[in-house]
Structure 1
Amino acid sequence: MALGFRGEVAGFYRQYRRGYPPAVIDSLVEAFALTRDDVVVDLGCGTGQLAFPVADRVRAVIGIDPEPDMLSEARTGAGDRGNLSWMVGADTDVPALGALLGKESLAAVTIGQALHWMDHQRLFHDLLPLVRPGGGVAVVTNGTPLWLQDSGWSRALRRYLELWLDTEVSATCGTDEESQSRYAESLQAAGYEVGRAEFHYDDQLDLERIIGGVYSALPVDLLPPVEQRSYFAKQVSRALTEHTPYRESVRVTILTGTRVS
């Protein structure tokens, strides 16, 4: 399942995608009663933004992603953490993973803003026998995409991206309420007990982080060519300059599905 998030995009992803506040990790630990004896899978792990802090709280984390370049960046970012392993794979590989690890072998499966690329209904059913009672699945978002926020700079960014790409820019990446409700219904239908938590924090961006964030969200074939990036940056700056400062109100949501028996 190649999505185009390879090559340079993986580097932008590692550099510019934000991490998760400690309270979010605390909430995951509490939701599934995670201990140092537990193993967690981070599915669609990207470059490790969620896998790293979770690994600090459990025995081991297996990061799975369809893009080898993402995993290469994750390995680099992991530093001297010795309890992380990385596998090339996708949601469709979960049954094979279950055959390898065995029933009730996992405390949790985390999915950080990647579920919109997956067949979530099938995935939730496939994961249920892999997690222990009291464990489960956590669907975690980390803020509305840069181009869909309720601010002047975000609207200006969206207008410019639509001109540059010659298409509507409307992807919510599963952060919208309709998607969240759909995921919750599917978790319940698969046999999980559903819960939800929210965390809010404020951030202030600069142009480098905005442009880097955009690059991290584009498939590699849609990245501006290297020779055009200076022009791209100048045009983004021109479009956004009257909307400084670039403040952002970030909402992190955690949708949990707990296996009760």
Structure 2
Amino acid sequence: MSRGFRGEVADYYQRYRPGYPAEVFDTLTDVFTLTDNDTAIDLGCGTGQLTIPLAERVRSVIGMDIEPDMLAHARTTAGERPITWLLAGDTHIPHLIPLLGHRSVGVITIGQALHWMDHNTLFHNARPLLRDTGGVAVITNGTPLWLQDTTWSRALRTCVEDLLGHPVTATCGTDTESHQRYTHSLTTAGYAVHTATVSYTRHLNIDHILGGIYSALSPEQLPTDRDAFATKLQHTLEPHQPYTEHVTVTLLLGVA
């Protein structure tokens, strides 16, 4: 079932969602002892921000998403890299066991998408796929633009709430409570859980902020008059420059 990441929203997602620092992939490689003999799965892969760099560390990656438009962008960007793209979601993980074999996968990554999934069932279903010292990595790439502790973020939240007509509080699984819930679920499913963080700084402009917001809306929620909304946003945020984002990437690493 579509979650709205289609059409223009997928375009904004491809263009404006940030990638991940190299240290994230160094951590995955070290914790799960990844080699060029490994297969990885990137679940909820979107337009490939995790999938494509991960392909440089292993033999092959399977990128899975339920949105055809997201996969189309990912496929184009990936070029000839060793990636297989599947129109599928977390409920299809058990169907990969007959295809790939038991204990055949080095890591299953989930980047900023677990809040859409049944994580308890997923963590249980993933275990038969994972080899020794392999595991599941839940990765969140910072706090949403509208929930950060800066004056420009608070001003942005006001604009978005005016657009949507209701408060915006969604953390997309980046908050401490969600991390604790995921950690408990991983532990209950039999994983040894480690946590790592990687920090970086982004310097944004109005286009980055607009694109980031539009990439998180459904096509039906996008403003009808984009120019008017952009002008309003710019006037609202202008007193709060510079638009600096201090990002902490959090990795919950469940070793099977």
Q: TM-score range by the shorter chain?
A: over 0.9
Give per-residue Cα distances to partners, 1:126-174, cap 9 Å, x unaligned.
Answer: 0011100100000001010000000000000001110110011011010
Q: Is the 8 A contact 2:143 2:171 kept in 1?
A: yes
Alignment partner, residue 237 of structure 1: 234
List gaps (5 residues or longer) in structure 2: none
RMSD: 0.7
Distance in 2 (CA, whole Å) between partners of 1:149 and 1:25 is 25
Alignment partner, residue 257 of structure 1: 254
Q: Is the 8 A contact 2:135 2:253 kept in 1?
A: yes
Supply the AA of the counterpart residue of 2:124: H
Distance in 2 (CA, whole Å) between partners of 1:4 and 1:124 is 25
Supply the AA of the counterpart residue of 2:38: D
Distance in 2 (CA, whole Å) between partners of 1:256 and 1:67 is 26
Alignment partner, residue 149 of structure 1: 148
Supply the AA of the counterpart residue of 1:205: L
Alignment partner, residue 161 of structure 2: 162
Structure 1 runs, 4 residues or longer, greater than 4 Å off: none
Give per-residue Cα distances to partners, 1:87-112, cap 9 Å, x unaligned.
Answer: 00111111112232221111110000
Alignment partner, residue 54 of structure 1: 54
SS at match of 1:30: helix
Give per-residue Cα distances to partners, 1:175-206, cap 9 Å, x unaligned.
Answer: 00000000000000000000000111111100
Alignment partner, residue 42 of structure 1: 42
Q: TM-score, normalised by structure 1?
A: 0.97
Distance in 1 (CA, whole Å) between partners of 2:68 and 2:253 is 28
SS at match of 2:223: coil
Distance in 2 (CA, whole Å) between partners of 1:242 and 1:146 is 17
Give per-residue Cα distances to partners, 1:205-259, cap 9 Å, x unaligned.
Answer: 000000000011111221123xx00001001101101100001110000000001
Supply the AA of the counterpart residue of 1:183: Y
Give the 5 Å matches for 1:68-217: 68-81=68-81, 83-217=82-216
Supply the AA of the counterpart residue of 1:11: D
What is the CA-CA distance between 1:79 and the residue it aligns to?
2.3
Supply the AA of the counterpart residue of 1:198: T
Alignment partner, residue 9 of structure 2: 9
SS at match of 1:100: helix
SS at match of 1:47: coil
SS at match of 2:99: helix
Supply the AA of the counterpart residue of 2:133: G
List gaps (5 residues or longer) in structure 1: none
Distance in 2 (CA, whole Å) between partners of 1:142 and 1:70 is 18
Is 1:224 the counterpart of 2:228 in the alignment?
no
Q: What is the percent sequence identity of the aligned residues?
A: 55
Distance in 2 (CA, whole Å) between partners of 1:185 and 1:59 is 31
What is the CA-CA distance between 1:80 and the residue it aligns to?
3.0
Aligned residues: 256
Supply the AA of the counterpart residue of 1:214: I
Distance in 1 (CA, whole Å) between partners of 2:223 and 2:97 is 40
Alignment partner, residue 64 of structure 1: 64
Supply the AA of the counterpart residue of 2:42: D
Q: TM-score, normalised by structure 2?
A: 0.99
